[in-house]
Chain A
Amino acid sequence: MSNFALELTSLSIDFGDRRIIRGLDLELGTGEAFGIVGESGSGKSTVVSAVVHALPVSGRLVGGTVRVAGRPVAELDDSDLRRLRARHVAVVAQDPAASLNPSMIIRSQLLEVFRGRADVTPDEAARRVAAMLERLRLPSDSEFGRRYPHELSGGQQQRVLLAMALVREPELLILDEATTGLDALVERDVIGLVNELRRERGFALLVVSHDFGVVRALTERIGVLRDGSFVEVGPTERVLVKPSHPYTAQLLACAPTLTHHRRHNPLRPIDDPGISGGTTEPSATPAPNPPRTPAASPLVTVSGGGKAYRGRPVLHDVQLEIRVGETLGLVGESGSGKSTLAGLIAGITPADTGKLTLHGTPVRWPLRQRSAATIRSVQMVFQNPDSTLNPSHRIRRILTRAIRQLRSTTTPERALAEVGLDTGVLEDYPVRLSGGQKQRVAIARALVSEPSLLICDEAVSALDVSVQAGVLALLDRIQSTRAMSVLFISHDLRVVNYISDRIAVMFAGRLVECGPAADLIARPLHPYTRALLEAASVIDTINGPPALPPGREPWRERHASGEGDWVEEAPDHWVLRYAESRTDPDGRGDRHRAADTAEPDAVRPDSSPHPSQPPAEALSERTRS
């Protein structure tokens, strides 16, 4: 038996005629943590499939070996392979909702892990499952066990999958984009739990992700994958702070942290249309700050906006103002009502209550009752360009339809030039375009009527960081050349902070805080904003956040009960205040205090080999240089 939990030796994999993995070498010792970072198409999920010997039918192992806990996986027969999967290696995949069997109760899915294992009695299996659920701070009672996956929250689902993986006591745990798509607080919680458990149980960890922050928080070594081979392998901190390969440096320069902002510390998108999806914006000269007068004239105001679905309120008394020429970022977890609010303003979902004004004149909620001019002035870009561009229309037709419908005078050629796309794509169908190109077409379509408000609903969330940086630069450039306001919606605080002049934070259907971006990041007033910031900065800077129990936070109950006043605590900085918090001048919630007083040794895994953490400032130095 070797000492390696995972050993890849000149691994090569073909899909059809295409080589996807090119001679990959990797040694992962017992208890070590390794991260594979790469963009889509780099081959990172193929590596995971190869490790558990579950390549799609079109994939072929053409060279090299994979050894898990010393066993050559490609040479195992069926029963040995099952044994390997049942005991030695476990995978937690992306999208927990889709990864659990929808018609089997949680308990059965967990206990199923021990099927066919003669060494574990049913009682022992039940005991281990209960212990693991408890360890992951899930209820271990029978009521919880009898639930179906759809009766759990996203975070609970992912922890159930984690329990399913760890209850096997594997030598190797693989997280395959396991936190992608989770809300920031949940993501931070899962990362904390994995770090704690690795410290306790000493399993080896392979993290595959597109997100540098996640890999940084979980691993000691990192490999940057591009076109099926590592361009750089080394200690995580060294690679992230002093990348030695230009591709790593380029990728890092595309990933926003809280220290980046388009106006004073812009990202540097990769100057290659093949990567960023279009012409790179000249971002060397930062755009000047907009006039920061609090009295800047409002373009759109929403007052008392409310909406309920089937009697369940999803938006409650929202007061929002979007000013002329500004970018207002809207951040919040899934289900907080961000997209509903966007739909309200765009006229897609009529509100039940409240008033909307545009340029000071009242506007009706439903799209059908709006004037053509109003429709022309409010346009929207959605998250998934695959489903918003008609797959059976050529790009030219998609754009000409929009031009005709919105009675615009532009041409498809000019519309494409505006978003940095070559007119060569006009005769293509959307399927031929890359994700970044498709999103640029979607933006071009929204811009044909020269709207005064562009709503971007998670418009960059589905894109790779390099593509995302390009699209963010595009939005910045468009805004500086037109007098256009942008409502930028995202679950990712780092991106929202990067693009926004002001930020609004939503929680459970209500606006909880709204203020100038820099002020809000530096001085968050609402406990939920503080928690979000803490989660984001933990992922940005610290190796292994302390996982806090989702403690009882009194503000949540008061929030749910609909209490609270909208108070201007600082110039132009508004917050939802609950009765008790006003007596707390410092405004610090329980959660925050718990984070401050966490034991110092709980911050980092014991197994962490590298000596010290560079402070956050070091990171921003790097990205500025």
Chain B
Amino acid sequence: MTPTTITYQSRGSARVTTALSRARAPFGYLATRAVMAAGALVVVSILVFGLVSLLPGDILVSRLGSQALPEQYQALAAQLGLDRPLWQQYLDWVGGFVRGDWGVSWMRDEPVSGLVIGRLVNSLMLGTVVLVMLIPLSFGLGIISGLRPGGVIDRVVSVLGSALLVVPEFVTGVLLLMLFSVQLKWFPVSSAPPADGDFFATVRVLILPAIPVVLASFGYLARLIRAGTLEVADAAYVRTATLKGLSRSRVIGAHIVRNAVPSSVSVTLLHVGTILGGLVIVEQLFSYSGLGKLIVDSTVSHDTPVLLAAAMVAGALTLAAIILGDIMLLVLDPRARAGAR
């Protein structure tokens, strides 16, 4: 390009600000979404509470052993509030949860809130590493595949993506552990984050557990973005742009990718629930003390207050991601803003 090439596109934050200010506040729309999410959270709380109370096994037995006296069992049940009707237990729990009183772990004698929040932070770190690897990889390859359908990259991505889609995280996880930790010793077998919180050391520990989750979602997202790109590449406005005499890179960047990405971003955020599911598995596999491992451990040990709180936080996180997806769409797609008014 010549030195006098002109770029007119206003960029970055300035653009987003104008976009939002011009949107004449789709806040009503967002408020509706938030209310809907809150309703969903209530449903989640009932489901979680119901399912937890259906769990096989008995906290009284696991705390006192099977040889205790009936009076001892009754006393502990009364202490934990288990002698009251289920609906009352539920209301007590919800009431406490909303006020920030998440109770005390039955197994560890520490407040649930501190425990869950600490684990949440760990999971968010791992989740961030997953997204940092997953998004560029799936978006990049998905876009390239969509621009040249039937090309070499498209075929490789398509075959590899479908293959990885059917291999669960615990298979790839075990294989990676065997290869890189046991054989090559490049990464530690256990992925406890270092106590000093050194950034690079932490990231290094998190890479290996992140890979199985990335691989499991890559095929799905890449295919999604490929389809979006293909659709946009066929649009009349892309032909208009090409016939303006624009360079191929400009056509791809400002016209194809710019319009293919918004819907893909919001669908990716819809996919966060699945990614959380993957984290449950790899955290267990790599002994990483995150939210997923906490859910599994507290289920096994019948630590109901911890399990309830952890499951609610996971649910809230997923719903937050979905709302973020809506907001991203509003920011990125002017037509969505118009529709939301």
User: Are A103 and B332 in contact, with the CB atoms below 8 A?
Assistant: yes
Is B79 an interface position by the 8 A CB rule? no
Choose from B240, B246, B254, B334 the contact partner of A161 (Cβ within 8 Å): B240
Quick one: closest A residue to B262, CB to CB? A103
Which 6 A-B residue pairs are closest in the complex by CB-CB distance?
A: A86-B245, A85-B245, A98-B236, A148-B334, A82-B245, A118-B2
Chain B hits for A98, CB < 8 A = 235-237
Between-chain CB contacts (< 8 Å), 8 pairs: A91-B243, A101-B240, A103-B262, A103-B332, A112-B241, A115-B6, A148-B335, A150-B335
Enumerate chain A interface residues (CB-CB to B < 8 A): 52, 54, 78, 81-87, 90-91, 93, 95, 98-104, 107-108, 111-116, 118, 121-122, 125, 146, 148, 150-151, 161, 164
* Cα separation A459 to B235 with both chains bound (whole Å): 26
Rounded to whole Å, the gap between the CB of B312 and the closest CB of chain A is: 36
Q: Would you give the 0/1 interface string for B270-314, flagging 1 where the beta carbon is closer than 8 Å to chain A?
A: 000000000000000000000000000000000000000000000
Quick one: closest A residue to B8, CB to CB? A111
Chain B hits for A84, CB < 8 A = 245
Chain A hits for B243, CB < 8 A = 52, 54, 85, 90-91
How many B residues have CB within 8 A of the partner chain?
Answer: 35
Choose from A87, A104, A146 the contact partner of B18 (Cβ within 8 Å): A146
User: Are A112 and B8 in contact, with the CB atoms below 8 A?
Assistant: yes
A interface majority secondary structure: helix
Chain B hits for A90, CB < 8 A = 243
User: Are A83 and B245 in contact, with the CB atoms below 8 A?
Assistant: yes
Is B68 an interface position by the 8 A CB rule? no
Quick one: closest B residue to A88, CB to CB? B245
* Cα separation A2 to B4 with both chains bound (whole Å): 31
Chain A hits for B254, CB < 8 A = 101, 104, 112
* Cα separation A78 to B251 with both chains bound (whole Å): 14
* Cα separation A78 to B18 with both chains bound (whole Å): 36
User: Are A103 and B259 in contact, with the CB atoms below 8 A?
Assistant: yes
Is B1 an interface position by the 8 A CB rule? yes
Chain A hits for B246, CB < 8 A = 82, 86, 112, 115-116
Enumerate chain B interface residues (CB-CB to A < 8 A): 1-9, 18, 22, 235-237, 239-248, 250, 254-255, 258-259, 262, 332-335, 338
User: Are B338 and A150 in contact, with the CB atoms below 8 A?
Assistant: yes
Chain B hits for A83, CB < 8 A = 245
Chain A hits for B4, CB < 8 A = 118, 121
User: Are B237 and A107 in contact, with the CB atoms below 8 A?
Assistant: no
* Cα separation A108 to B338 with both chains bound (whole Å): 19
Known: A114-B6, A150-B335. Is A101-B255 also a contact (CB below 8 A)?
A: yes
B5, B243, B244, B334: residue with the most chain A Cβ atoms closer than 10 Å: B243
User: Are B239 and A100 in contact, with the CB atoms below 8 A?
Assistant: no
* Cα separation A81 to B245 with both chains bound (whole Å): 7
User: Are B334 and A102 in contact, with the CB atoms below 8 A?
Assistant: yes
* Cα separation A91 to B245 with both chains bound (whole Å): 11
A78, A90, A118: residue with the most chain B Cβ atoms closer than 10 Å: A118
Rounded to whole Å, the gap between the CB of A84 and the closest CB of chain B is: 7
Chain A hits for B239, CB < 8 A = 54, 93, 99
Choose from B245, B334, B338 the contact partner of A87 (Cβ within 8 Å): B245
Quick one: closest A residue to B242, CB to CB? A54
* Cα separation A81 to B246 with both chains bound (whole Å): 10
Chain A hits for B262, CB < 8 A = 103
User: Are B247 and A99 in contact, with the CB atoms below 8 A?
Assistant: no
User: Are B247 and A112 in contact, with the CB atoms below 8 A?
Assistant: no
Known: A108-B9, A115-B250. Is A99-B244 also a contact (CB below 8 A)?
A: no
Chain A hits for B334, CB < 8 A = 102-103, 148, 150
User: Are B244 and A116 in contact, with the CB atoms below 8 A?
Assistant: no
Quick one: closest A residue to B1, CB to CB? A116
Rounded to whole Å, the gap between the CB of B259 and the closest CB of chain A is: 6
Knowing that A102-B334, A113-B245 are A-B contacts, what are 4 other residue pairs whose CB atoms are under 8 Å apart, sorted by A's residue number?
A86-B245, A93-B240, A102-B335, A111-B8
* Cα separation A122 to B2 with both chains bound (whole Å): 13
Quick one: closest A residue to B10, CB to CB? A108
* Cα separation A112 to B246 with both chains bound (whole Å): 8
Quick one: closest A residue to B235, CB to CB? A98
* Cα separation A259 to B50 with both chains bound (whole Å): 76
Rounded to whole Å, the gap between the CB of A85 and the closest CB of chain B is: 4
Chain B hits for A114, CB < 8 A = 6
Quick one: closest A residue to B244, CB to CB? A113
Choose from B5, B6, B247 the contact partner of A111 (Cβ within 8 Å): B6
Quick one: closest A residue to B255, CB to CB? A101
* Cα separation A116 to B5 with both chains bound (whole Å): 5
Known: A82-B246, A146-B22. Is A99-B8 also a contact (CB below 8 A)?
A: no
